[in-house]
Amino acid sequence: MTMIRVENLKKSFGDLEVIKDMSTVVEEKEVICVIGPSGSGKSTFLRCLNRLEEITDGHVYIEGVDITDPKNNINKIRQDVGMVFQQFNLFPHKTVMQNIVLAPMKLKGMDKATAEKKANELLDKVGLREKAQAYPGELSGGQKQRVAIARALAMDPKIMLFDEPTSALDPEMVGDVLDVMKELAREGMTMVVVTHEMGFAAEMGDRVLFIDGGYIVEENVPKELFGNPQHERTKAFLSKVL
């Protein structure tokens, strides 16, 4: 089943054309890793997938529903698309528990006991059960990011988007977050991951997209893309980062 279909996506900020023309398809349970130089449009691409950026032209379909069509309720669609940010963006005035139960209670009408039970299960999964009553300010970066993942998972999303989830972390924290993501991938979550972690992309990616200059320059299984890149720009980029 096709989870995400992107057709001739274009995105401009004023006169600046960040995404010139991108099309791709993400199937159910696929893990897609998006790599590319900074400023190439990969984060913007990801943010167009849940319309966090208004789409200038083209179409994005989530499970067949066109999110660029204003008649479709974007808030409803976003409930199925979890997102994890580089800067975590936890709600600092709420405890870890409150961060996680907020959306299920307000949007799905879940009662408190059920929501908290589920939150505890998710905290177990990310290894932070004992932090339920802590505030985000009391957590390390890696812990914050794992809470952010739990918060997104609390809505039972069908797709998870990760926007450079480990880029703001101290090196020793990266592993914990990647482990949680690997676990999710193994469970069959459909994931789109913008990342600089080439190791993760090579190990977990079903496909890797190389984005540069507003285009998807090349997409392939990691073995081929990393081992036998076809385009000069891909080769130049990989020679710098590998």
Partner 1 sequence: METWINALPYLLEGLQITLYIFFIAIIIGFLIGLLMALLRLSPFKILNWIAKIFVDAIRGTPFIVQLFFIYFGLNSLEFISMDNTTAGIVTVAINAGAYFSEIIRAGIQSIDKGQTEAARSLGLNSTQNMRHIILPQAFRRMLPTFTNQAIISLKDTSLLSVIGVADLTQEGRIQASATFQAFEIYLLLGIIYFIVIYLLSMLASFVERKFVLR
Residue 190 is a binding residue for partner 1 (CB under 8 A): no
The C-alpha angle with vertex 58 and arms to 53 and 59, in degrees rounded to 5, equals 80
Residue 101 is a binding residue for partner 1 (CB under 8 A): no
Residue 156 is a binding residue for partner 1 (CB under 8 A): no
Dihedral of CA 117/119/125/127: which sign? negative
Residue 3 is a binding residue for partner 1 (CB under 8 A): no
Q: To the nearest whole angstrom, how small is the minimum distance from the Cβ of residue 121 to partner 1?
A: 18
Please tell me the distance from the alpha carbon of residue 100 to that of residue 115, in angstroms, as a whole number: 8
> Encoding tokens for residue 138?
């009391």
Residue 151 is a binding residue for partner 1 (CB under 8 A): yes
> Encoding tokens for residue 136?
């985000």
Length of the chain as a residue count: 242
Applying CB under 8 A, the span of 91-99, 184-192, 210-218, 230-238 interacting with partner 1 comes to: 91-99
163 - beta bridge partners? 194
Report how many residues bind partner 1 under the rule CB under 8 A: 28
Residue 13 is a binding residue for partner 1 (CB under 8 A): no
Nearer to partner 1, 134 or 238 (CB): 134
Pick from 12, 72, 79, 120: which binds partner 1 (CB under 8 A)? Answer: 79
Q: To the nearest whole angstrom, how small is the minimum distance from the Cβ of residue 139 to partner 1?
A: 11
Residue 35 and residue 210 in contact, taking contact as beta carbons nearer than 8 Å = yes
Pick from 8, 13, 39, 76: which binds partner 1 (CB under 8 A)? Answer: 76
Using a 10 angstrom Cβ sphere, with 0-12 exposed, 13-18 middle and 19 or more buried, the burial of residue 148 is buried
